[in-house]
Chains A and B, each alone.
Chain A
């Protein structure tokens, strides 16, 4: 076993790594985008971006520029100025709403279905090929099909979340249920517990940690998928916001979106982590 490290030392090291990373980034871009400085007609230069005016290309933004932009965005995250221009807080809220809806529906279907599949080896074998084929399909591949059949872009986005996040939950539930120890089921039978009683009092608690692990994987996938789905469908959400800032070639905003997506994803994962700890058991 490794020796436990003290929390503050780990934090300190994290901070040092972060500072080094940002510092190198900032320094590397010092003077970037400057061209040969060839003399250009001032009228011409006025029509170009700062970097292009001196003969170069618009460079990657520096961390300090990103920081300023982040402050600007976070100081007013909930504004609405027309349907195409809304604050970053509102965009994240839209995305979270879609994810929770799609993920919730997936859970409602995957967990009971997984239960049935886990309890019946026949069904398990019969459905397995379908699950294995559909599981690795990318959200982007589902989107045109969803748009075509559902004919509503916001429902399509939710459907794509649903279809992509259902598989880990389904497989984990089925696995957890089928892996419940024989002895426990036998004990339940000798105590003459009915099917429902066995399911809820023995199998569910036994499989709960595995199910929660599946849910944790699923919410991660759902959050990954929402960005891609919203980039395609457009309208609202953090994914659309990324697309929109790409439209404007604003790399600083995209860096900020990456940070936001990461932080929200972390929060979602931690939330399910807490739930998982609540149902964990040890022999």
Chain B
């Protein structure tokens, strides 16, 4: 019980170093929070300080508590107390998003009340493009933002920005859920070997879309910088450009792949889950200092996001979610388009209805192996010109510990290890051997 009165700076009493990550506070009622409960119970049972001290001296704390525990459900009280969040330091938050289905958990948490339930008053603001999201995030106009998973890595490393901006991936938003869409006139060119001279759009230079498209065409023997053209185009403008014959196709986020089919301008060549099943796409990003500066707000936000992500992932809720987010305040798209993306029963633009319930998934856990793969691709295509310690950067930027804690609080299964072997484009990727993986490619910068 003495630990409650220690004066060392150790806000949650876990005894760990809080350099960059929030503390992994035990939520089973042990640890510092549990001791606070025991102290409070003793005070309640023996309100007079003299009596309490006398009893403690005679019987000892443990015996007394055990005796009280026979009558009072002390274990439950300790757990309940540990899970009662302290009041958020900041309630009114602004979160920027891009109007794509990847942002589903961030968006649907607003109309479906997930933020409110955590005592947060969140305004979700639609933003015009990834560069604007990044700049407004750096200017702290947003408290948190929807970003492409590689963006916080690039920003933290100072790649593509004037100076390093430490931002973290607090949770992954979605896995899979992207597609390669080609113009209708290329119906017969389904083999990437025939794509020489094609002009493709991807949402941003630092995006999974860019890396996946590059890896895919490079595997077919085309050099993505010489044999095809890749342009960064904001997702909403992709369909308009495809229609105007400005591009031959795009590897883009939904609903724009489905929208191209809906408007009769393109067809879905493949879903990105066929390239890497379970690949991350977008992330819920927060300033790296947030867990330290506003731990309670951060915890509440994480709970809301993880809960919203789990809710969105449930196939039974997908139609309801589609209805909640397709309106003009959020995605501003025909509901049937969003529904086809989320339910995975969709028209492919070639006359068939496909049923792929795993078309998009929502899983919050930010595996470090995902970050390491992204870093290898940044190296592969010359975006990152220097050696980095892959694992260190990954664990600093991808907050697996915090996401895991929020998941555990909600009773979700937390992966035991933030490193896992991935299968990408039919090849195994071992996150412990990033250099060997990188050196095995013939086409690289």
Contact = CB atoms under 8 A, between A and B. Distances in A.
- The B contact surface, by secondary structure, is mixed
A247 interface: yes
Contacts of B265: 57
B127 A234 contact: yes
A56 interface: yes
Interface in A228-255: 231-235, 240, 243-244, 246-249
Interface stretch (A97-105, A144-152, A217-225): A144-152
Given A82-B329, A244-B126, A249-B239, A56 B264 contact: yes
B141 A152 contact: yes
The size class of the interface chain A forms with chain B is 35 or more
The size class of the interface chain B forms with chain A is 35 or more
B128 interface: yes
Contacts of B136: 147, 153
Contacts of B141: 152-153
B258 to A, nearest CB: 9
A83 interface: yes
Contacts of B438: none
Given A52-B262, A83-B125, A148-B135, A44 B327 contact: no
B332 interface: yes
Interface in B248-276: 259, 261-265
Interface stretch (B20-28, B71-79, B347-355, B375-383): B347-355
A85 interface: yes
The residue among B240, B264, B334 with the most chain A CB atoms within 10 A of its own CB is B264
A249 B128 contact: no
B132 A233 contact: yes
B132 A47 contact: no
B333 A248 contact: yes
A24 interface: no
A48 B126 CA distance: 26
B44 to A, nearest CB: 46
B240 A234 contact: no
Contacts of A81: 328-329
Interface in A31-69: 35, 40-41, 43-44, 46-49, 51-52, 55-58
B243 interface: yes
B125 A84 contact: yes
A57 B263 contact: yes
A247 B236 contact: yes
A51 B264 CA distance: 7
Nearest to B97: A84
Given A235-B125, A243-B128, A249-B239, A85 B328 contact: yes
B126 A47 contact: no
B237 interface: yes
B288 interface: no
A86 to B, nearest CB: 9
Interface string B320-337: 000000011110111010
Contacts of A232: 128-129, 132
A55 B187 CA distance: 14
B56 interface: no
Contact of A147 (B132, B259, B329, B336): B132
A51 to B, nearest CB: 6
A151 B264 contact: no
A47 B128 contact: no
Given A85-B328, A153-B141, A244-B332, A44 B347 contact: yes
Contacts of B328: 81, 84-85
A240 B123 CA distance: 18
A13 B184 CA distance: 44
B128 A52 contact: no
Contacts of A41: 351, 353
Given A52-B262, A153-B136, A249-B259, 10 more contacts: A48-B262, A51-B263, A57-B243, A58-B263, A81-B329, A82-B329, A83-B123, A85-B328, A147-B132, A153-B135
Interface of B: 99, 123-129, 131-132, 135-136, 138-139, 141, 162, 236-237, 239-240, 243, 259, 261-265, 327-330, 332-334, 336, 340, 345-347, 351-353
25 contacts: A44-B353, A46-B336, A47-B346, A48-B262, A48-B347, A49-B263, A51-B263, A51-B264, A52-B261, A58-B264, A83-B123, A83-B125, A84-B124, A84-B126, A84-B332, A85-B327, A144-B135, A151-B135, A151-B139, A153-B135, A233-B132, A243-B128, A248-B332, A249-B239, A249-B240
Question: Top 6 nearest A-B pairs by Cβ distance?
Answer: A52-B264, A234-B128, A151-B139, A247-B236, A85-B329, A47-B347
